[in-house]
Structure 1
Amino acid sequence: MKKIFFILSMALAFTGLLKSKVNAQSVPVGTPALDDYYRRMQLLGKVDSNVSFTIRPLFPGVAFKRHNVYDPDTTLKNDNWTPTGPVSFANGAGSFQILPFSWQQQFNSDHPYGWNDGAMIPAKGYQTMVSGGIFVKYGPLSIQFRPEFVYAGNPPFNGFASGHSDKELIKYYAFYNYIDNPERFGNKAYSKAFLGQSSIRLTFDPVSIGLSNENLWWGPGIRNSLILGNNAPGFKHFTINTVRPINTPVGSFEFQVIAARLDATNFPPLLTTTTSTGANLVRAKTNDWRYYTGVNINYHIKWVEGLTLGLTRTFDAYHKDINTLSEYVPFFFPYQKQSTNDGDPIPRDQLTSLYARWLFTKAQAEVYFEYGLNDNSYNFRDFIGSPDHSRAYIFGLRKMLPFGTHADQHILLSGEITQLSQTVDRLVRGAGGWYVHSGVKQGQTNKGQVIGAGTGSGGNLQSMDVSWVSGLKKLGVRLERYEHNADFSASLADINGNSRKWVDFAFALQGEWNYKNLIFNATIEEVKSLNYEWFLKDYDPSSQQYYIPHNTVYNLHAIIGATYRF
């Protein structure tokens, strides 16, 4: 890793001798209105259909030939309070731009809820995040400095420990001792500054190489991603990636290869760390940062219009266990355990997924699918016999419908399913929970949050969205059913015969609206939590009721934000 960083630094020292007109400016994952705007425009056939949207952040300046990536519809050009966009210098060899200033606020009335909010934490009460910065480019060298600051009141709430027995606490720790995913981030207010969506790059169209702390999103999902998403804070990584599709006679390709650092928290799974008799529940974790590396590559088939096929593979291990080049770059490590003496030579957590996205521009629709595995099969025969062992998947679709006679207005219909719980195959052979690992006890997390699907290990989600859209504007409703960690709830069945599931039903009003330099975003969501925290208050084992009435909790989840574009 040190050698790689040294070589890159030496290369940066000579960039003043080079010139390039490539705009390597990214639109960070999760940017209100802008991040999804380009994907909606692709449904309408207004941007390049070869861009897969399965490797983000996007680089619209290169991929879609946008001069100002934060003004994609050019409405700011003639209607603004202050001029916007990059300013050129050095006879066009360089450019400078003040990045948008964003202020996002979030509130939960009863308990933590919500995901895909980057550096924000799961917390009750009020929290806020501010971000802004600058972008400078000269020749192929670009520097994007966009730090983030988060503050959360983080008041106490009724968590798992407040309503469960010692036996149930032991069960909880038996699962969550193998992942760094605390229920509450300490017992006081939380505040922290991050590098945020910052990067330094050398870009030679269509490939970019650099150091970054940006959030990454891999795969075609919109509400969730199996491998990488913006549920956790961005992490430090070295990257080689395409900024637009590479065209060839047989189709186009996109890829990203990363070598990264994942960090842990010092928080236990619960603030209650002992049983009522004083027995310790916490199992110590290795005090070392984790080396995380992965590859995402996809192929846009020339002869099948709109179809993209992709593969991702990632490895997560403690840095102290990485010694050889093959361990730093392990992408050709065999999938089949039969070829590796039935195991990995070092404690290492592997994930892989196959995905597909099919865009139908004439129908203004898309369908997508991602199928992932968190445990390798012994051999090919084993996989054929049990292809659903350790699997998780995401399936979704979107469709644009004309809104009356308004050519610039549409109704957007969206639906997505995330399934992370183990299948019935677990009765024969347990696969373990997604993002959880016995050898790498922090699991697939960064700073205490899962780097993949925000619904977390064992979480299942069904989501439906109906919205009116016009340019950057969007107004709509969202309905969701979220089942919390079905793998863990199944383990509670050994106690008092309890097999109750904790399920949230959520209804949200959401909107995004641009006015001159401003973009506003808001979500008001009512969440009904049935069997909250798997509590057993007033539980009657002889009852046929599936949901226990006195264990229903209501929560108001609200988001409001504003972004000013310079």
Structure 2
Amino acid sequence: MTGKGKSTKHKAQSLKFIDQSDKPKAKRTRGGEILQRPHIIPLTGAMWFFTCFLMFGICSGIQAQSLPVGIPVLEDHFRREQLLGNRDSSLSLMIRPLSKDAALAEGINTYRQLTKKDTLALLPFTWIQQLNSHHPYGWNDGSMIAAKGYQTTFSGGIAADYGPLSIQIKPEFTFAANPGYEGYPQDGYPVVWRDYYQFYNNIDLPERNGSSRYMRIDPGQSSIKYNYKEFSLGASTENLWWGPGERNSLLMSNTAPGFIHLTLNTNKPFQTKIGSFEGQFVWGRLDGTNYSPTQIKDYLFAMSNLYAPKKDEWRHFSGITITYQPKWLPGLFAGFARSSQVYNDDVNSIGDVLPFFSSFGRGIDEAKPVGSPDRYTSLFFRWLMKEANAEFYFEYGHNDQSKTFPDFVKNPDAGRAYIFGVKKIFALSSDEQHIMASIELSQLGQNQENELFLNPNSWYIDENVRHGYTNRGQMLGAGIGPGAEIQSLEVLWFKGLKSIGLQLERNVHNQDYFFYTYTPSKDFRRHWVDIGYSAVGSWDFKNIVVNAKLAAINSLNYQWFLFQEPGDPYWMKGRDRFNFHARVGVSYFFK
């Protein structure tokens, strides 16, 4: 990516668009209207095998257990109750999903037993609907995709236990209208398009997931495990969450759909003489999409197509996370996480697959070998202060193993990212009513003064593992994506499961791309900033829990676009867009 300083001097006629050629076949109705077939994605062989394996387990009397990541209302309720001192403070909540045993111990029962021996239970039925009026918005939504318009997901299932074996079947059905929308500006300068592809050729984050409606059935939050005391071993497609953050997590969130994996984890804190430990190791498979970064499949620059298709190969993913609560410091949790991904055909040793069998890093001047794994490391803590009804937390991470430890000490800002949050609950005079105030800051953009910001070396982007840190076209880590930063403020009234609140967010999109592209021309007017104002709430009616979020989002300089005609003032208004985001969920608990 060179020559950016002359971006304003390139003429628009040097570019050429070629229409998408991967559109599905359409049929014409009697009235002449053309209807496209919905974009139905079948289960892969591995998914079919896993689903049949789970069904075999149920027929054999085997069964399951967890509080899924992202289940509406309950996770937030659990965390608030822990701050109030009404729940076990030995649970870090930094490795999720919570096991059924941990949830039941805290009074959260999402199961209806169907037999006297408690060997079969119904799981909650959940229906979530979402709408974006102008462009995709939202993250931490699991099987949903990034799309404009309407989409919905249904989930329900059964769980069972038989001796040490447990099984959970909770498939998810997702439908999205997925219409086209105003994406990266076609009237932008060609050199800017070139720089955009320099970034997004190395990560699987397409603007649009296909060219038609989207429908898919996934195994969802399903698992089969063997349990022994505080430990579980098994296979799962559940979403995972590592770290203390609520809006974002550096290494593992539920923005992307869950992926099939083997897991060895604690199902409750493991007590020792020096304190308690929680942990998880996973080894799984990540898949990609074959969609181009923009809705324009082919874009020619200097007679060459900017889009470089990624290899059609699945990826090994492995990760480990461990948390520790010192016996002498109740309420303090410290932990680390490390992950690695590599294409299946690039595996040369066990160190390529298992992150804890490899060294910390290379020297800062050493080139990254072709085909080498893409690795991430983070350290984090959460300090729960029950007496003050408050908590604060912090996560600090580094992308890949780009440096040795001495290099890190000399320049800790290179390749770093962090998340910081604080939360406080205030009691009201009315019984059991409270006000909660919380702030969370996430920073993934690189330091502008660091020489690395002049290279497309953002978090989650990798030149060897060119699908980046994604699964099926969505982020595994922080949902805000590469180079972004976000500040979130929330004030919430709550009483039990009932809550009403307001959120204010400032989301700055991919600052690394912005500085890479526009620093040479000294044009610092184009930051793409979303200002979001949201009303949130939840309410329970006997067996039913309803939650909703209504957000007004003003996207300033949408897609970093600002076009200045001769005679226009320097400080002019960019291409601003308004987006209305609505999300409504209904959960029915069988009691």
Same fold (TM over 0.5): yes
How far apart are the structure 2 equivalents of 1:346 and 1:259?
19
Question: What is the distance in 1 between the residues matched to 2:267 and 2:112?
Answer: 20
Residue of structure 2 equivalent to 1:79: none
Instruction: Report SS of the residue matched to 2:559.
Output: helix
* 1:28 aligns with one of 68, 88, 108: 68
Alignment counterpart, residue 550 of structure 2, candidates 511, 514, 524? 524
Superposition pairs for residues 103-502 of structure 1, below 5 Å? Answer: 103-272=127-296, 273-275=298-300, 279-338=304-363, 343=368, 346-406=371-431, 408-427=432-451, 430=455, 432-493=457-518, 497-499=522-524, 500-502=526-528
Per-residue deviation at 1:16? 12
Residue 34 of structure 1 aligns to which amino acid in structure 2?
L
Answering whether residue 109 of structure 2 is matched by residue 69 of structure 1, we say: yes
Is contact 2:152-2:175 (8 Å) kept?
Answer: yes
More displaced, 321-330 or 146-155?
Answer: 321-330
Cα offset for 1:542? 7.7
Post-superposition Cα deviations, 1:90-136, rounded to whole Å, max 9, x if no partner, equal xx3x5211111111110011111111111111111111111111111
In structure 2, the partner of 1:80 is: none
Following the alignment from structure 1 to structure 2, what is the Cα–Cα distance between the partners of residues 63 and 110?
39
SS at match of 1:384: helix
Encode CA deviations 1:364-422: one digit per residue, 9 max, x unaligned: 1000000000043533321111011100000001111102232x111111110000001
Letter of the structure 2 residue corresponding to residue 402 of structure 1:
A
Secondary structure at 1:296's aligned position in 2? strand
Aligned partner letter, 2:202: Y
Gaps of 5+ in 1: 1-5, 71-83
Q: CA deviation at 1:14?
A: 12
State the SS of the aligned residue for 1:477. Answer: strand
AA paired with 2:557?
N
Gap change, CA 1:13 and 1:101, over 3 Å in 2: closer
Q: 1:419 to 1:95 in 2, by over 3 A?
A: same
SS in 1 for 2:78: helix
* RMSD of aligned residue pairs (Cα, Å): 2.7
Distance 2:503 2:446 in 1: 26
Please point out which of 464, 488, 509 is paired with 2:535.
509
What CA distance in whole angstroms lies between the structure 2 residues aligned with 1:291 and 1:555?
A: 37
TM-score (norm 1): 0.89
CA deviation after TM superposition for structure 1 residue 326, in Å: 3.6
CA distance in 2, matches of 1:225, 1:540: 44
Classify 1:345/1:527 alpha carbon distance in 2 versus 1 (closer, same or farther; 3 Å): closer
What TM-score does the superposition give when structure 2 sets the normalisation length? 0.86
- TM-aligned CA distance change 1:170 to 1:288, over 3 Å: same
Verify the 8 A CA contact 1:48 1:64 in the aligned structure 2.
Answer: no
The 3-state SS of whatever aligns with 1:233 is coil
Aligned length: 536
- Whether the 8 Å contact between 2:244 and 2:382 is mirrored in structure 1 is yes
1:393 and 1:243 map into 2 onto residues whose CA distance is 27
- d(CA) in 2 for partners of 1:208 and 1:229? 21
Percent of residue pairs bearing the same amino acid type = 43
| Contact 1:264/1:446 (<8 A) preserved | yes
Cα 1:551–1:339 change in 2 (3 A) is closer
Relative distance call for 1:345 and 1:517 in structure 2 (3 A) is same
Q: 1:69 to 1:303 in 2, by over 3 A?
A: same
* Residue in structure 2 matched with residue 74 of structure 1 by the alignment: none
Provide closer, same or farther for how the CA distance between residues 167 and 341 of structure 1 changes in structure 2, counting only shifts above 3 A.
closer
Cα distance in 1, alignment partners of residues 387 and 565 from structure 2 = 54
User: Secondary structure at the residue paired with 2:75?
Assistant: helix
Answer yes or no: is the 8 Å Cα contact 2:146–2:208 preserved in 1. Answer: yes
1:81 match? none
C-alpha separation in 2, matches of 1:432 and 1:405:
52
**What displacement does 1:64 show?**
5.2
Equivalent-residue separation in structure 2 for 1:198 and 1:17 (angstroms): 17
Cα drift, residue 284 of structure 1: 2.3
